[in-house]
Structure 1
Amino acid sequence: MSQADDTVMVHNATAPADDMAPLPRIDFLYLSEPDMIRAGVTDMAACIDAIEDMFALLWRGDYRMAGGNNNSHGAIVMFPDESPFPDMPTSTVDRRFMAMPAYLGGQFRTAGMKWYGSNIANRDKGLPRSILTFVLNDADTGAPLAFMSANLLSAYRTGAVPGVGARHLARPDSKVIGILGPGVMARTSLQAFMATCPQIETIKVMGRGRANLDAFTAWVAETYPQLTVRTVETAEEIVRDSDIVTFCASVATGDPSIYPTVRREWVAPGTFLAMPAPCNIDDGMAAPDIRKVLDNTGLYEAYLEELPVPRHRFVPAVGVKFLDLVEEGTLDKASLEDLGAIVAGDTPGRTHDDEIIILSVGGMAVEDVAWGTIVYRNALRDGIGVKLNLWDAPALR
């Protein structure tokens, strides 16, 4: 049989019709950051819808992530404090490489992996702390569909999770948001809250540096001129009298006592707290009358297998604190709820105006696959990006 005879046409039924291509030739799409913007990566309302669909699939089990448990956050490369090798990087507050692979079913039916390097010293070079890329693959053949710039992809899918939470768990008439940490995560979380709770009027913000606070305030004034922004000095002021609270500040891991902490006495009835960054709670917030929601129970159960106790030292998500409290015997595991179950309708969302609800946001590779797939299909539809060739035919097979 000739090579030409060996060429067949395939089509992924979930992809646009123009995604048909002859095999064994493989082409894929390269999407730069400007391409990603043109393809809609910053469309927060659409991102929230995609991530909401993803949560329903998680609850049904139509997904896979890393590890034997299929729920691992990913694989990480860390560096030593001291090295005998002169060219090996040494540890900083946030130096690592990380790979986050996943498969997602439903309307997506794709696989993908986010790969990034991170170093807090990047900021001194005019770079983001983390530099991210994402590869999207056909779930059947494993062939690459796209290679993407992923800083915006990751930022928007992260912000969309608190938005999904707010859609189901915040009071629709919420007016005041308290934000700890005025960085990128704060911006995308605010965009998500504005998309789901349009009656918001006031933002309280706290940050460590004047420059970041000024930049955030200027961005809010330009993006949401109808909002009032107040700078405050303490976590207590962030939490008190806020309808929605989110902690978005980076903190060194290892000592939970230095993580930003929510104290029960600060929290007004009806508050929704969405925590995508380091967070701790006092004993009052561990009480049974506070609803505690995990973004994916399986993710936290994977940490139970992978990390020594107490795990909150290594993973600063408040959901890991919940699991540590379960192991200590001070919290009933049955009291922990799952956001996917709420999205799917198997568990109720907010049931009355006075409920206090705290959502742990751990970050998952399936989020990148969900939003990356939608952005990729937008790019195909609109002719965005550069088509690159992997091979016309593989040299080895």
Structure 2
Amino acid sequence: MPNAMHILTRTDLADIHLAPAEVIELVTEGYLAYAHNESRCPVKLMMPIPKAERDAVSYSMLGYDGSLEQVGFKTSYRQGSESAEKYYTTISLYDDVTGLPFAFMDCQRIGASRTPATTAIIAKHCARPDARSALMLGTGVQGRNTLPYLLTALPRLERLRLFGTHPDGIAESIASLHRWFPDREIELVEDVPAAVADSDIVVVASGRAAHPQVRTDWLPPGGLLVSVASKGVASGALRDADYAIATSAGQLGVTGTRLAGPDGEVTLDAELPDIVAGRAPGRRGDDDRVFAFSSGMIITDMPVAHALATRAVAAGRGQRVELWS
């Protein structure tokens, strides 16, 4: 079946685990390949759906991973901005060496690994060298793995705190930390502005109404604020930062336009791939309040997807389907 595609469901991937350090390495390699012009990653295509009351999300991404020599296509659809139940995201991979399809798979696990890895990479390069505390706001799928990934990248972190409103999400966030760091504990917080003011690293991956929108000027001097495309961040967060970065300026122009200044222009100091490659600093000074806008890039999804798919196929998971027969 030379033209068969491996179809991998969410269940097929559920117990295929990648350690945080491995995912961080894979995502770092994805950024480096892009920075060295070995990969391609056009800006994501988003389409508003003409039903304002549903506030649906629909977008697609295309990319080429120069390290894997694979082409990838990712799609996401969610009916309603607050619904986790009707959220469907997939990725397909094609081998550019053999010219053959490789895998079509559910993308939830990939995003739940790639996103906290990106956050950890941002923190590694942009937090103060003496950062000792981290605060996570949000307990959705994109945020539950954040604290163990941060601790992997920054093992000197001493204080880990969490704000969430959903008991299941809080429990899963704690379980995720204990899976990799069984001796570490999470402190739950209620007063978000006070917690932000007392944290070296603040990650916001929360909805719009669970807490006051986080402002950059709440940070202590030298603080780092990472927005995971979150509506829980105030619209002036980028404008008010001493140093502003994004995973991609183009992606920011698509998904983060509300963070632009009064004239509608987005001003960035650096992009993450250049920082990882050593071509730009993660901050100018120790007292800079740094804002980082994290938006997914398929060139970081693809290496994680490939690693999960390879292990799942080796374990006999999924189906081979001859779509082109």
8 Å CA contact 2:16, 2:308 repeated in 1? yes
8 Å CA contact 2:197, 2:219 repeated in 1? yes
SS in 2 for 1:177: strand
Which residue of structure 2 aligns with residue 33 of structure 1? Answer: 10
SS in 1 for 2:124: helix
Tell me the amino acid that sits aligned with residue 137 of structure 1. Answer: Y
Q: State the Cα distance separating 1:143 from its structure 2 match.
A: 3.8
- Separation in structure 1 between the aligned mates of residue 193 and residue 31 of structure 2, nearest angstrom: 31
Unaligned runs of 5+ in 1: 1-21, 82-90, 253-257, 304-314
Which residue of structure 2 aligns with residue 294 of structure 1? Answer: 246
- Separation in structure 2 between the aligned mates of residue 353 and residue 174 of structure 1, nearest angstrom: 10
SS in 1 for 2:103: strand
Give the TM-score taking structure 1 as reference length: 0.70
SS in 2 for 1:200: coil
Aligned ranges 1:13-32 → 2 under 5 Å? 25-32=2-9
Which residue of structure 2 aligns with residue 46 of structure 1? Answer: 22
8 Å CA contact 1:102, 1:369 repeated in 2? no
| C-alpha RMSD over aligned residues | 3.2
Q: 2:102 aligns with which of 117, 120, 145?
A: 145
Q: State the Cα distance separating 1:149 from its structure 2 match.
A: 2.2
Q: 1:388 aligns with which of 316, 320, 323?
A: 320
Which residue of structure 2 aligns with residue 280 of structure 1? Answer: 234
SS in 2 for 1:245: strand
Q: State the Cα distance separating 1:181 from its structure 2 match.
A: 1.4
Q: State the Cα distance separating 1:165 from its structure 2 match.
A: 0.7
Is 1:92 paired with 2:54? yes
8 Å CA contact 1:35, 1:384 repeated in 2? no
Q: State the Cα distance separating 1:142 from its structure 2 match.
A: 5.9
Would the alpha carbon gap of residues 80 and 34 (structure 1) be closer, same or farther in structure 2, given more than 3 Å must change? closer
In the TM superposition, what whole-angstrom CA distance separates every residue of 1:82-119 from its partner, at most 9, and x where no partner exists?
A: xxxxxxxxx435x34x3423222321221122233324
Which residue of structure 1 aligns with residue 165 of structure 2? Answer: 208
Is 1:110 paired with 2:70? yes
Which residue of structure 2 aligns with residue 3 of structure 1? Answer: none
Which residue of structure 2 aligns with residue 192 of structure 1? Answer: 149
Which residue of structure 1 aligns with residue 223 of structure 2? Answer: 271
- Separation in structure 1 between the aligned mates of residue 92 and residue 215 of structure 2, nearest angstrom: 37
Q: Which has the higher helix share?
A: 1
Which residue of structure 2 aligns with residue 242 of structure 1? Answer: 199
- Separation in structure 2 between the aligned mates of residue 227 and residue 43 of structure 1, nearest angstrom: 17
Is 1:354 paired with 2:287? yes
SS in 2 for 1:184: coil
Is 1:59 paired with 2:11? no
- Separation in structure 2 between the aligned mates of residue 215 and residue 383 of structure 1, nearest angstrom: 26
Q: State the Cα distance separating 1:48 from its structure 2 match.
A: 1.2
- Separation in structure 1 between the aligned mates of residue 236 and residue 320 of structure 2, nearest angstrom: 53
% identity of equivalent residues: 20
Is 1:154 paired with 2:86? no
- Separation in structure 2 between the aligned mates of residue 244 and residue 339 of structure 1, nearest angstrom: 17
Aligned ranges 1:127-146 → 2 under 5 Å? 128-139=85-96, 143-146=100-103
Would the alpha carbon gap of residues 362 and 267 (structure 1) be closer, same or farther in structure 2, given more than 3 Å must change? same
8 Å CA contact 1:63, 1:366 repeated in 2? yes
In the TM superposition, what whole-angstrom CA distance separates every residue of 1:319-368 from its partner, at most 9, and x where no partner exists?
A: x345x217457x7x3x5211111111111235654333221012223322
SS in 1 for 2:89: strand
Would the alpha carbon gap of residues 131 and 294 (structure 1) be closer, same or farther in structure 2, given more than 3 Å must change? same
Tell me the amino acid that sits aligned with residue 105 of structure 2. Answer: M
**Which has the higher Rg, Structure 1 or Structure 2?**
1
Q: Size of the alignment, in residue pairs?
A: 322
8 Å CA contact 1:36, 1:375 repeated in 2? yes
Q: 1:325 aligns with which of 242, 261, 266?
A: 261
Which residue of structure 2 aligns with residue 5 of structure 1? Answer: none
Would the alpha carbon gap of residues 211 and 188 (structure 1) be closer, same or farther in structure 2, given more than 3 Å must change? closer
SS in 1 for 2:220: coil
Tell me the amino acid that sits aligned with residue 107 of structure 1. Answer: S
SS in 1 for 2:157: coil
- Separation in structure 1 between the aligned mates of residue 278 and residue 40 of structure 2, nearest angstrom: 22
Unaligned runs of 5+ in 2: none
